Amino acid sequence: MKISEILNQGNPTLSFEVFPPKSSDGFENVEKATNAIAALKPDFMSVTYGAGGSTSKFTTEIASNVKKNYGVPALAHLTCVNATKESLDAQLETMKREGIENILALRGDLPQGVEDTSDWVYKHASELVPVIKSHGDFCIGGACYPEKHPEAANMKEDIENLKKKVDAGCEFLTTQMFFDNNIFYNYLYRIREAGIMVPIVAGIMPVTNAKQMERILKLSQAFIPRRFVSLLDKFSDNPAAMRQAGIAYATDQIIDLLANGINGIHIYTMNKPETAAKIQDNLSAIVPSCNKAE
Ligand code: FAD
């Protein structure tokens, strides 16, 4: 099923992101975790691509497994960083053959130390969108950044670039994680004002340990509200308490979003079935798909 159809139904939806292993050695563990998450029957699952050095073939394999064996609509991520026309053609044909219907079109992060991208074939995700379209009737999504993409000079410019991506054919957008809903509401206002009207799926990261937060700050430069800092100060030395507090904070964020009419919620699960299950449990009377688990 196409993600655009799911989102356009207008019901609250809960979806989960998983990531593939870096090498075949880790495949079994990741498969076990992604199967357990798929068994929760979320509205859809997304599988990242190449992030952190994972091998691209596993993205298609995991997405296809989730769809075929669990009936969960799958969203395969695809990046164009360093890609050639031939490499993208091959990847997209494999995805099509494996029954993938939904692709998140991404540029990908610049490899460390790379600043000059002038010799790249594809410099922006918006250039990947027509390549995907040329391979079939995929539903295409893209990424957006409530706190601005780190490389963009300012928010206005970033939103203008986002509009190009949507005009190229992105049918929905998933946000980078954020920890302050007011930042998201302001952003939503600005992108709607810029004429970007596709569904926006809010990306939420349940922070279940303090180390994870250090990594997040390094990668995403997200603003951490005082309320969240207090929680880290108090519980970061107690893993069980930190997990409970992190999931409660994420749940609170989600409920506020749903109460304010934001229907699409995407959880960065970090391949942790117990986190996904707990969030689902916390939303069981609010989000219809949270009662479908096997
Ligand atoms: P783009 O949309 O191309 O934007 C990148 C920068 O270029 C922005 O600053 C933008 O303003 C600017 N820009 C865009 N278009 C133009 C234009 N036409 N002219 C001038 N400037 C322009 N990374 C992975 O490697 N694998 C994944 O699976 C993955 N999944 C992700 C999922 C989500 C929901 C998010 C939010 C991010 C994900 N990322 C992933 C990280 C992403 O690849 C990086 O954030 C990357 O730096 C930007 O990707 P993008 O697709 O947003 O790029």
pLDDT tens per residue across all 294 residues of the chain: 999 999 999 999 999 999 999 889 999 999 999 999 999 999 999 999 986 556 788 999 999 999 999 999 999 999 999 899 999 999 999 999 999 999 999 999 887 787 788 888 999 999 999 999 999 999 999 999 999 999 999 999 999 999 999 999 999 999 999 999 999 999 999 999 999 999 999 999 999 998 988 888 777 789 999 999 999 999 999 999 999 999 999 999 999 999 999 999 999 999 999 999 999 999 999 999 998 666
- Which residue segment(s) compose the domain that 40 sits in? 3-291
Residue 69 class from Cβ within 10 Å (0-12 exposed, 13-18 middle, 19+ buried)?
Answer: exposed
pLDDT of residue 206: 97
Report which ligand 1 atom has the smallest distance to the Cα of 123.
Answer: 3
pLDDT of residue 92: 97
Q: Whose CA is nearest to atom 4 of ligand 1?
A: 124
State the total domains in the chain: 1
Report which ligand 1 atom has the smallest distance to the Cα of 203.
Answer: 34
CA distance linking residue 149 with residue 143, whole number of Å: 10
Distance 106 CA to ligand 1 centre (A): 5
157 CB contacts (<8 Å, ≥6 apart)?
A: none
By the 8 A CB rule, do 26 and 57 touch? no
109 lines ligand 1 (CB under 6 A): yes
107 lines ligand 1 (CB under 6 A): yes
By the 8 A CB rule, do 196 and 162 touch? yes
Q: Is the pTM of this model over 0.95?
A: yes
pLDDT of residue 51: 63
pLDDT of residue 52: 54
By the 8 A CB rule, do 72 and 42 touch? yes
pLDDT of residue 16: 98
CA distance linking residue 246 with residue 207, whole number of Å: 5
Q: What angle do CA 198, 250, 76 make, to 5 degrees?
A: 45
By the 8 A CB rule, do 43 and 13 touch? yes
266 lines ligand 1 (CB under 6 A): no
Q: Whose CA is nearest to atom 15 of ligand 1?
A: 161
151 lines ligand 1 (CB under 6 A): yes
CATH of the domain at 81: 3.20.20.220
pLDDT of residue 117: 80
Among residues 231, 233, 257, 255, which one has the least CA distance to residue 244?
A: 231
pLDDT of residue 110: 82
pLDDT of residue 54: 61
Q: Whose CA is nearest to atom 36 of ligand 1?
A: 176
